[in-house]
Chain A
């Protein structure tokens, strides 16, 4: 009964994984046969300015977006867990950006971020004069300034929190109402309720989402960087590891080099997950009853 699943797993995961692992130590351009070159791909990688930029961009991106995404989703879930007027629409609004196909989402942002007629900069210019914002600053140059471009990619990732939001909402809704009624009878303040009840009870799931989102964060910068900023502004302001790998493999046909970069990305993911696991484990132990 498991056979189709195992077949898929083998063809789509295990075999490509092994091939990638082997190819990381080879030179292969799809035309000539692969050539074994030992660890030269890796030494080349760390001498490659593009790779170093991609590595640093990816780490910064993960360090900023993962916690902010979790906090946003948690805030929304706690805000919208009760049934009230407009809550249904608000929940839909929170989930909708995640449901939009990634490419369409990217193209939409390309328009939103347009420095001249994009609505974001139009809004920022309200109340300002001579092309400056109300605070007398030039509006962000989303597509041409390196830092503004990186901010744009982060901004894009903060609206695709639908999945995390749904999971946290489901967890919050499933917490027994009696616990909160008891807290009300004991005159616990909102902060006490959050700190002593909600947060500890949600913590195991938060930990899980933290790990999941960290893993995913190395990937969900890919489409925005490809569609919206094209890895730039030049040279590599928004080139993330995923885009770096994609370019090397499918544009420059350096399959061995891309495979090596993939292994580095995998290693980073594993390290990040292990560190988080160590931090979270004491929490989880408390619930393993």
Chain B
């Protein structure tokens, strides 16, 4: 009976979730709905409340207001063990005294699963996570990447309603992180499952997430596909936080002065009325790649140049503002030189200066 009523329910629903550490409010009303078999990445800087959000979902910390629904059941106030979630911790939280096999089977054994069945299921989960060759080892004998796989296998073994991953890749070195990231993505596509993955790493969020929820100071700033979050940031915070180097944000008059005459609109002089940038209270954002150096336009002084592989990030000062441009490394200007620069109108994101909300843009 219950099953029928549940089939259309999302895997996880958070409604107006508040949480606090002592007297400090950490979450201020989070609404989030994760479809079954969807992987949502919660992206935010440290201190934004993303770990707290996971802990509230898991039941390790109470929501001071709001509801948590998992697989159609309102689990608000339920103890963690009843919620049928599993969690991968940033530190992996492997039991140092138990073998890999016993670590993976832990959740089954404490739930009185017969030993043989627990072993079989642990082996299957280990195969799925790619650590079945390590079953007899102790965690202390494993590398960071191997430990991470074991933690993942342990999360998989019970086939929970929701997987919670708390920065599981952050303790890996850069190369391994990239590799594990794609494995994690592939694993999710293979085994499915409702997943909430928390990270502060925007690239990780872009690569992994079906959707990204950007969290800032306990509030969700934007939820959308990686493409939406990238190309249509809902707030100035998202605009600055997603993308590296960060998007340039300048007052409208400065952006307007940088506007290059376009072919269609070649006769329009700066200061004209058709560009929608007339209100000086607006903030205008454009990606570093949108700045064109050379040609015509107002000049900025090159303060610093960072070469990152094929790209060079050029930091320019203009009207007491620092802007970052991305140019091919071979075309980088001299430090100290004065360079004319321009941007095109279609590349501009327009935000309300006081609320930070998106008004218009590409």
Task: Write out the residue numbers on chain A whose beta carbons fall within 8 Å of the beta carbon of B59.
Answer: 184-185
Interface residues of A in 174-193 (CB under 8 A from B): 176, 178-179, 181-189, 192
Is B81 on the interface with A (CB-CB < 8 A)?
yes
User: Per a CB cutoff under 8 Å, which of B81, B89, B97, B158 touches A178?
Assistant: B89
Task: Write out the residue numbers on chain B whose beta carbons fall within 8 Å of the beta carbon of A187.
Answer: 79-82, 107, 110-111
Is A186 touching B107 in the complex (CB atoms < 8 A)? yes
Which of B85, B97, B109 has the largest count of A CB atoms less than 10 A from its CB?
A: B97
Task: Write out the residue numbers on chain B whose beta carbons fall within 8 Å of the beta carbon of A179.
Answer: 93, 95
Is B110 touching A192 in the complex (CB atoms < 8 A)? yes
Is B111 touching A186 in the complex (CB atoms < 8 A)? yes
Interface residues of B in 4-30 (CB under 8 A from A): none
Give bound CA distance, A201 to B140, whole Å: 14
Give bound CA distance, A183 to B79, whole Å: 12
Interface range, B side: 20 to 34
Is A286 on the interface with B (CB-CB < 8 A)?
yes
Task: Write out the residue numbers on chain B whose beta carbons fall within 8 Å of the beta carbon of A35.
Answer: none
Contact (A289, B140) CB under 8 Å given A179-B95, A186-B106, A186-B111: yes
Q: How far is the CB of A174 from chain B (nearest CB, A)?
A: 12
Task: Write out the residue numbers on chain A whose beta carbons fall within 8 Å of the beta carbon of B80.
Answer: 181, 184-185, 187
Contact (A289, B79) CB under 8 Å given A186-B106, A196-B110: no
Which of B58, B80, B86 has the largest count of A CB atoms less than 10 A from its CB?
A: B80
Q: How far is the CB of B169 from chain A (nearest CB, A)?
A: 16
Task: Write out the residue numbers on chain A whose beta carbons fall within 8 Å of the beta carbon of B111.
Answer: 186-187
Is A22 on the interface with B (CB-CB < 8 A)?
no
Q: How far is the CB of A179 from chain B (nearest CB, A)?
A: 5
Task: Write out the residue numbers on chain B whose beta carbons fall within 8 Å of the beta carbon of A178.
Answer: 89, 91, 93
Interface residues of A in 220-270 (CB under 8 A from B): none
Contact (A287, B96) CB under 8 Å given A182-B87, A182-B89, A188-B81: yes
Give bound CA distance, A201 to B96, whole Å: 8
Is A185 touching B86 in the complex (CB atoms < 8 A)? yes
Is B141 on the interface with A (CB-CB < 8 A)?
yes
Give bound CA distance, A176 to B85, whole Å: 20
Give bound CA distance, A118 to B175, whole Å: 73
Is B135 on the interface with A (CB-CB < 8 A)?
no
Give bound CA distance, A176 to B139, whole Å: 15
Q: How far is the CB of A4 from chain B (nearest CB, A)?
A: 39
Is B60 on the interface with A (CB-CB < 8 A)?
yes
Task: Write out the residue numbers on chain B whose beta carbons fall within 8 Å of the beta carbon of A200.
Answer: 97
Is A184 touching B60 in the complex (CB atoms < 8 A)? yes
Task: Write out the residue numbers on chain B whose beta carbons fall within 8 Å of the beta carbon of A192.
Answer: 110
Task: Write out the residue numbers on chain A whose beta carbons fall within 8 Å of the beta carbon of B141.
Answer: 289
Give bound CA distance, A276 to B87, whole Å: 39
Is A37 on the interface with B (CB-CB < 8 A)?
no
Q: How far is the CB of B85 from chain A (nearest CB, A)?
A: 6
What 14 new A-B contacts, CB under 8 Å, besides A185-B86, A196-B98? A179-B95, A182-B93, A184-B60, A185-B107, A186-B86, A187-B82, A188-B81, A189-B110, A192-B110, A196-B109, A201-B95, A286-B97, A286-B138, A287-B97
1/0 per residue A152-174: CB within 8 Å of B? Answer: 00000000000000000000000
Task: Write out the residue numbers on chain B whose beta carbons fall within 8 Å of the beta carbon of A182.
Answer: 87, 89, 93, 106
Is A100 on the interface with B (CB-CB < 8 A)?
no
Q: How far is the CB of A211 from chain B (nearest CB, A)?
A: 20
Is A197 on the interface with B (CB-CB < 8 A)?
yes
- A203 (CB) vs chain B CBs: closest residue: B97
Give bound CA distance, A286 to B86, whole Å: 27
Is B60 touching A181 in the complex (CB atoms < 8 A)? yes
Task: Write out the residue numbers on chain B whose beta carbons fall within 8 Å of the beta carbon of A286.
Answer: 97, 138
- A197 (CB) vs chain B CBs: closest residue: B95
- A178 (CB) vs chain B CBs: closest residue: B93
Is B60 touching A185 in the complex (CB atoms < 8 A)? yes
10 A–B contacts from the bound complex (CB under 8 Å): A176-B93, A181-B80, A183-B106, A184-B60, A185-B58, A186-B81, A188-B106, A189-B110, A196-B106, A196-B110
Give bound CA distance, A189 to B111, whole Å: 9
Q: How far is the CB of A237 from chain B (nearest CB, A)?
A: 44
User: Per a CB cutoff under 8 Å, which of A185, A188, A287, A289 touches B85?
Assistant: A185
1/0 per residue B132-148: CB within 8 Å of A? Answer: 00000010110000000
Question: Shortest 5 CB-CB distances between A and B: which pairs?
Answer: A187-B81, A289-B140, A178-B93, A186-B107, A188-B110
Task: Write out the residue numbers on chain A whose beta carbons fall within 8 Å of the beta carbon of B81.
Answer: 184-188
Task: Write out the residue numbers on chain B whose beta carbons fall within 8 Å of the beta carbon of A176.
Answer: 91, 93
1/0 per residue B208-248: CB within 8 Å of A? Answer: 00000000000000000000000000000000000000000
- B151 (CB) vs chain A CBs: closest residue: A182
- B61 (CB) vs chain A CBs: closest residue: A181
